[in-house]
Every structure is written in structure tokens, then in C-alpha cells.
Amino acid sequence: MNVHIAFLGSLGTQEMVLIFLILLLLFGAKKLPQLARGVGKSVGEFRKAREEFEDEIRKGSEDLDKEEAAKKANDIDVKDAKGKEPHDS
């Protein structure tokens, strides 16, 4: 089982076990689950923020597309109106 991490390359099982043992020695058995929970919550919050940001960008793009379409439609109407004679009512 190889895990690819952007800046570390490929981590195999032996490397992951070694990292886990070092973390266990540094933080202890009682703190490790709390640390993992904290990291998990942080990753979840990061994903949520990223999704909200992507949604805002998507909505902004859709709004811009709608505005451009409305402007083009308005320009076409103005050109049509200029070509016609004024009507007396």
C-alpha cells in the first residue's frame, strides 16, 4: 500500500508505521486520538470552506454570464429600434 503525498512522494507501509511510532512516542497514547480528532475536524472545516469558495466562484460566473446575455439582448433590441421609423400613436 503506497500513499502519495504531494511534497513527500510515495510513502510505503514501513514509512507510515515508523511515522506512527514517532508520533506515539512524541504525544503519548492518550493524546494521539485527540490529535487525530483535531486534525480530522480541521480537514473537514478546510473542505467545507473550499466548497463554499468554489460555490461562490461558480455563482459569480453564472451571474456574469447572465448579465452578459442580458446586455447582448439589450444591444440587439437597441439596434433593431434604431433601424425602425418612429410610429405616431
State yes or no: pLDDT of 72 exceeds 60.
yes
Is there a contact between 10 and 2 (Cβ–Cβ < 8 Å)? yes
State yes or no: pLDDT of 21 exceeds 70.
yes
**pLDDT score for 70:** 84
pTM recorded for the entire structure = 0.52
Q: How far apart are CA 85 and CA 89, in angstroms?
A: 13
Domain segments of the chain as ranges: 3-83
Q: 82 phi and psi, to 5 degrees?
A: -70, -30
State yes or no: pLDDT of 41 exceeds 60.
yes
